[in-house]
Chains A and B, each alone.
Chain A
Amino acid sequence: MKQISLKINDQELRAKPGMTILDVAREAGIEIPTLCFHEELSRVGACRLCVVEVVGGKKLFPACTTPVTDGMEVLTHSERINARRKALLELYLSDHPADCLACEKCGNCRLQDYAYAYGVRTSPEDGERSQRQLDESNPFFIRDMEKCILCGQCVRMCGEIVGAHAIDFTHRGFQAQVAAAYEMPLQESSCVFCGNCVAVCPVGALIPRSRVGQGRTWEFKTVTTTCTYCGVGCVLNLHVKGDRLVDVSPGNGPANRGKLCVKGRFGLDFIHHPERLTKPLIKKDGRFVESTWDEALDFTARRLSEIKHAHGSDALGVFASAKCTNEENYLLQKFARAVLGTNNVDHCARLCHASTVVGLAKAFGSGAMTNSIPEVTLADTILVTGSNTTEAHPVIGYLIKQAVAQGKKLIVIDPRRIELAELADVHLQLLPGTNVALLNGLAHVIIAEGLADEEYIASRTEGFDKLKEALAKYTPEYVQKLTSVPADLIRKAARLYGKADRGAIYYSMGITQHSQGTDNVLAVANLAMLTGNVGREGTGVNPLRGQNNVQGACDMGALPNVFPGYQSVTKPDLRAKFTEAWGIDLPEKPGLTITEMIPASLSGDIKALYICAENPMVSDPDINHVRKALENLEFLVVQDIFLTETAQLADVVLPGTTFAEKDGTFTSTERRVQRVRKAISPRGESRPDWQIICELARRMGCKMEYQDPSAIMDEISSLTPSYGGIDYVRIDKEGLCWPCPTKTHPGTPCLHAQGFTRGLGKFTPVEAIGPAELPDDEYPLILSTGRNLYHFHTGSMSRRSEGLDWRIPEGYVEINPATAKDLAIKNGDMVRVTSRRGEIEIKARVTSVVPEGIIFIPFHFAESAANILTNPALDPVAKIPEFKACAARIEKLESLEEVG
């Protein structure tokens, strides 16, 4: 491409065609003031502060929208320009409250900075002023619209990046303002309270409430870390004053580049919640009594040792945690294997993506997301199946919406009319649990219509003939009968995906949480390989992992059958490697999964459990059964930050810390290992989880001593080939995607580029079976479960966050208007939902998001826990339970008087 030469303030510069004066200046480090410009947003040229002089030109040009031309000579700070900027600033300030002294933005305000830089001292007192109001209607941020300078960055952020389109310019002249339609409170609009508008506002018009009155910007310490909520792995900045978190702002991580969702941005106040556990607790005579660390640790170590000696190592089990760091999970599995002597170690990945790990390992040789998050917008057709991305992985949801806005095609497979379904080119609204049939149907059409990538199939895969044979019967008409999706839509979707140059599949628990979860995953993998959509940028099979570190907990071997890096415990050479490194003989027999440890606790085969930061009393299927099992244990130790539903059943409770109080790493869903950094000291006497594990090990006669988490990571990388090149120095600035085998390896955002991890990709034919429990006369509805944007997992953190709780204070069951009408249920009625496992009382939300005959309950709410109802039927291979489909019935609760 031809280069352009130009001069800015006597500096000779080169530029690419299409760059603006501002782009070139910024690249060269020449500062031009801007108020409406933002790298990621469209350029509107509204504020005019960026005007520059072009030699030979009469008028002034806005640098942000004026393209450079060859031979151009630009002046950025001539007298004429400075005078113009000063006049402009005076104009802005003439309609701006003189509030710098008390404004929260003071010290971090562009208007203030420029007023200083251009020597604007006073603003005219009289003259017409706008009549905009202060909006304090939500608990997340204040909208002080009197201070708004109408730069429009928030409007563009909300529309172009977040895709919420909640706000826009309304009215005009002195009435002009930024608002939701009808100036209604944001909570009545499509606002998702992501706070990304707050992050870009250059002045004090949008202010997070948490920081009001907490101090000046320059008094805050800023610590960059990784979000503790979901697997997207957003980098965020914690702003701290006096050992307290006062504000959060988005960081510049590869996945989020300056954006967050409501949970990461405004959902961290659980850190300072008064219910945080600050001292160890020991249960004496049925009541918890506070104890010293020595007493609690000694007692725990003694009980675990006693049970080990009396009943053998396999009577013990460990629940590791997808919330904890890699270092902690590494230590937990090491503790189970080396100290307790059992492979009974597992974590909640069993409940979300065990089928992914098994299925993708079989098909590709590696059970993780094949491509990186920024590649979302490189795809030209995106297929989202069983992922309510905008609620469960919001920041990835933004990217998918951006792709659609750019004209990319979107196919959504989901029983519910989720937000993405409304934007989709095709929405396949299948019956819950009929995924295999539908995916097979798509593959059938692709083969029948000659859309399969034959060259790819021949050179990179094996087993195609068997697959083809098995798919023969899955004609669209046959599949329509099984799934209730119209045959024409199946064809339309198959053609869209089949013809795409870059087709990318994103899936989540709607695929995995079925008794046929592994088959579902295999069917997804078949579809992608069939069309040559694995191994290139912008394509792939992308399981979106739920928890912040569920990928890492798997990688660290917090699984019953593998050491760190998925190295099998049954392989003698691998066991020998770990035996040598850890200096102790290691058990050979694979251990139990958490879905097996629960029944084993009930039967008495397991006598003691060490549960670290997991809450099976809300997260696991059939909670009544879980309770009985945990109560049957001889000894239960729970390590957590709150007295969760599970911790209440414990004999000893050990107070761990939140992510803000410790160092470590999380591995996000895109396999990116990122730093977690300590911002405040542990609350009360709580201790970082890694220290607690080391203390227990030491008391059980095993030396586990590390100076800090960085030293633990060094041990991890020495034993885990895919983490071999990872250390804290290398990931200091930006995380790396594994596999990263050596210290010079740049990491691998896109997997399987040069061939699959297992060599050839393997097609595995799968047959449609359907859910384990189908509706019948007694339980005529299908119940599905899932998530809500404002809460996370079992709610122990999100429900202790003021704003999130304000937004969604209680559980609800979604029910279609027609089904509701049949049952005389109105929106807001209390209803009873019953399944073969139990019953709950919950509020009805009548909505056409769910189709007739299907009800949906988010599982975050312990008092109306969806998992009292769910079916613990397991996938035979992955042992993942069927959360997404069971039979249920619903009835209106009579009013209290009538019940009497």
Chain B
Amino acid sequence: MSCSVCLCDIELSDEDKSTLDDILAQYPCQESSLIPVLQETQGQLGYLPRPAMEYVAKALKVPFARVYGVASFYSQFHLQPRGKHIIRVCQGTACHVRGAKEILKAFEDELGVAAGNTTEDLEYTLEVVACIGACGLAPTVMIDDETYGRLTPRDVRKLLRQTKKAAKAQ
């Protein structure tokens, strides 16, 4: 990192700071470094916490609004912490026709979070996707790497109970 700016006013743990400094050290101080720096930051921290984005903004001399703009534009970036398990509920056409909306609603009710969010205990992140390529099984859901199909809202509760059990067993 070649920019000399004062970074002392940002609230970030010393540990995160040194993680970021290590990442920033590999890139020149210019706007084109932004995306790779954000990618690595997310790789290290699991998501992009706000103070980390402020830090990156100052260090690269890129306006904070721009950093946020970029991070919120690409779906690869996560601005919220992610759950241990990622639930992706398909809302593609085939699934839509076969009741994907209800399935999503069942997940939202069960987990107590709206799509796109993470439960408070950081166990689950609920996301929607468009077609996961298993239309024959519509409506479909992916939990981590497992695909589940032909679901009814009632199945949702069962499925979640199973996953929780499996998690405990580990």
Contacts and interface: CB of A to CB of B under 8 A. Distances in A.
B8 A169 contact: no
Interface string B61-91: 0011111110011000000000000000000
A213 B113 CA distance: 41
Interface in B24-82: 50, 53, 63-69, 72-73
A86 interface: no
A568 to B, nearest CB: 50
Contacts of B14: none
B69 A170 contact: yes
B121 interface: no
Contacts of B5: 422
A171 interface: yes
Interface in A833-881: 847-848
B145 interface: no
B66 A165 contact: yes
A417 B5 CA distance: 11
A417 B6 contact: yes
B146 interface: no
B15 interface: no
Given A172-B73, A181-B65, A848 B6 contact: yes
B6 A165 contact: no
B63 A168 contact: yes
A847 B6 CA distance: 12
Most buried by B among A166, A172, A182: A182
A291 interface: no
A244 B140 CA distance: 64
Interface in B89-112: none
A168 B67 CA distance: 9
The interface size bin for chain A is: 10 to 19
A654 interface: no
A159 B63 contact: yes
Contacts of A847: 9
A167 interface: yes
B73 A180 contact: no
Contacts of A168: 63, 65-66, 68-69
Contact of A171 (B6, B66, B72): B72
Contacts of B65: 165-168, 170, 179-181, 189-190
Contacts of A189: 64-65
Contact of A170 (B9, B50, B73): B73
Q: Is the interface of B mostly helix, strand, loop or mixed?
A: helix
A250 B9 CA distance: 35
A170 B65 CA distance: 8
A189 B50 CA distance: 13
Interface string A145-170: 00000000000000100000111111
Nearest to B50: A182
Nearest to B69: A168
Given A165-B63, A168-B63, A171-B73, A848 B68 contact: no
Given A182-B50, A189-B64, A189-B65, A169 B6 contact: no
Interface in A394-417: 417
Contacts of B67: 181
Interface in A427-467: none
Interface string B121-148: 0000000000000000000000000000
A601 B53 CA distance: 59
Best-surrounded residue of B9, B53, B73 (most CB of chain A within 10 A): B73
Contacts of B72: 170-172
What DSSP secondary structure best describes chain A's contact surface? loop
B48 to A, nearest CB: 11
Contacts of A170: 65, 68-69, 72-73
Interface residues of B, number: 15
Given A169-B73, A172-B73, A182-B50, A848 B9 contact: yes
B104 to A, nearest CB: 17
Contacts of B63: 159, 165-166, 168, 190
A182 B66 CA distance: 11
A182 B6 contact: no
A169 B64 contact: no
Contacts of A172: 72-73
A181 B6 contact: no
A165 B69 CA distance: 12
Contacts of A166: 63, 65
A179 B5 CA distance: 25
A189 B53 CA distance: 14
Contacts of B73: 169-172
A172 B70 CA distance: 10
A171 B65 CA distance: 12
B51 to A, nearest CB: 11
B26 to A, nearest CB: 24
Interface in A162-203: 165-172, 179-182, 189-190
A168 B70 CA distance: 9
A640 B20 CA distance: 57
Nearest to B62: A165
A166 B8 CA distance: 21
Nearest to A847: B9
A180 B65 CA distance: 5
Contacts of B68: 168, 170, 180-182
Contacts of A848: 6, 8-9
B8 A181 contact: no
B100 to A, nearest CB: 17
A541 B6 CA distance: 30
Nearest to A172: B73
Nearest to B58: A422
A179 B69 CA distance: 9
A170 B63 CA distance: 13
A152 to B, nearest CB: 11
Nearest to A169: B69
- Of B5, B8, B65, most A-chain CB atoms within 10 Å: B65
A194 to B, nearest CB: 15
Contacts of A171: 72-73
A417 to B, nearest CB: 7
A166 B68 CA distance: 11
Given A168-B69, A170-B73, A181 B64 contact: yes
A417 B6 CA distance: 10
A190 B64 contact: yes
Contact of B6 (A159, A179, A422): A422
A422 B53 CA distance: 19
Nearest to B8: A848
Contacts of B53: 181
Contacts of B6: 417, 422, 848
A848 B9 CA distance: 8
A116 B63 CA distance: 38
A878 B17 CA distance: 51
Contacts of A169: 69, 73
Contacts of A182: 50, 68
Contacts of B66: 165, 168
A417 B4 CA distance: 13
B99 to A, nearest CB: 21
Contacts of A180: 65, 68
Contacts of A167: 65
Interface of B: 5-6, 8-9, 50, 53, 63-69, 72-73
The 9 closest A-B pairs by CB, nearest first: A165-B63, A181-B68, A168-B69, A168-B65, A181-B64, A170-B72, A171-B72, A181-B65, A170-B69
19 contacts: A159-B63, A165-B64, A166-B63, A167-B65, A168-B63, A168-B65, A169-B69, A170-B65, A170-B73, A172-B72, A172-B73, A181-B53, A181-B65, A189-B64, A417-B6, A847-B9, A848-B6, A848-B8, A848-B9
Interface of A: 159, 165-172, 179-182, 189-190, 417, 422, 847-848
Given A168-B69, A847-B9, 18 more contacts: A159-B63, A165-B63, A165-B66, A166-B65, A168-B65, A169-B73, A170-B69, A170-B72, A171-B72, A171-B73, A172-B72, A181-B64, A182-B50, A189-B64, A189-B65, A190-B64, A190-B65, A417-B6
